[in-house]
Amino acid sequence: MTAHLSLVRPSHELRSVRARRQTPTQPSNRNLRPREYLTPSEVETLIRTARQGRYGHRDATLILVAYRHGLRAVELCDLEWSQVEFDRTATLHVRRAKNGKPAAHPIRGDELRALRELQRQTSGGFVFETERGTPFTTDAVNRLVKRIGDRAGFPFKVHVHMLRHACGYALANAGHDTRAIQDWLGHRAIQHTARYTELSQERFKDFWRT
């Protein structure tokens, strides 16, 4: 005797559950860290700590140059001696990544002396070399700055891009014009620069003054 078969309506419950599942996303840096920049005094602490390491002069100069000129990791790694003028002009010719605007930055006395000493310690065309005499990778320079931040005892993780943000905030707090900061950092769009002036203490310096 043949059993009568009937069609059973498929259940979509499992499919619906799967559809409702969300792929876990990695938290943003903003949520993981209290802030994305360093203060000038924290940069000084980082430089002092760097000087105490095995390659102290190189590491301290790396932090100083990244901070003064607001360099991204890739711009720091690609920096060549041909971009540094040691004559009376004392100029750093900055090549920007991310389609940023290039610029010619003045090099201050302490930075110029540090770069002169560093050039005597290097053998290749790149300003910052590893112990093998090769240029840094972005991952390597990030690890270096992170280790120095750990040694300095910062209560948060430090990364190299915080030096670029530190530059922007320091210039804004010094009262420099937003357009000038934009050109210094190489931003094509001014809204990327506005974040620094929006949080600048300089805007409120005359509040509550009689």
Counting beta carbons within 10 angstroms of the beta carbon of residue 5, is it exposed (0 to 12), middle (13 to 18) or buried (19 or more)? exposed
How does strand 91-94 pair with strand 84-85?
antiparallel
Going along the chain from its start, the domains and CATH numbers come out as: 36-200 (1.10.443.10)
pLDDT tens-place string over residues 20-57: 455 555 544 455 556 789 999 999 999 999 999 999 99
Sorted by sequence, the CB contacts under 8 Å of residue 208 that are 6+ apart come out as none
Q: Catalytic residue positions?
A: 72, 98, 161, 164, 187, 196
Give me the helix-helix angle, 191-198 and 178-185, nearest 10°. 120
Taken as a whole, the chain contains a residue count of 210
Counting beta carbons within 10 angstroms of the beta carbon of residue 57, is it exposed (0 to 12), middle (13 to 18) or buried (19 or more)? middle
Strand stretches in the chain, DSSP E: 84-85, 91-94, 103-106
Residue with tokens 């009689």: 210
pLDDT tens-place string over residues 68-118: 999 999 999 999 999 999 998 999 999 999 899 999 999 999 999 999 999
Per-residue pLDDT for 17 more than 50? no
126 secondary structure, DSSP code: B
Residue with tokens 């002092």: 48
pLDDT of residue 4: 58
Q: pTM to 2 decimals?
A: 0.80
In this structure, the number of other CB atoms found within 10 A of the CB of residue 121 comes to: 11
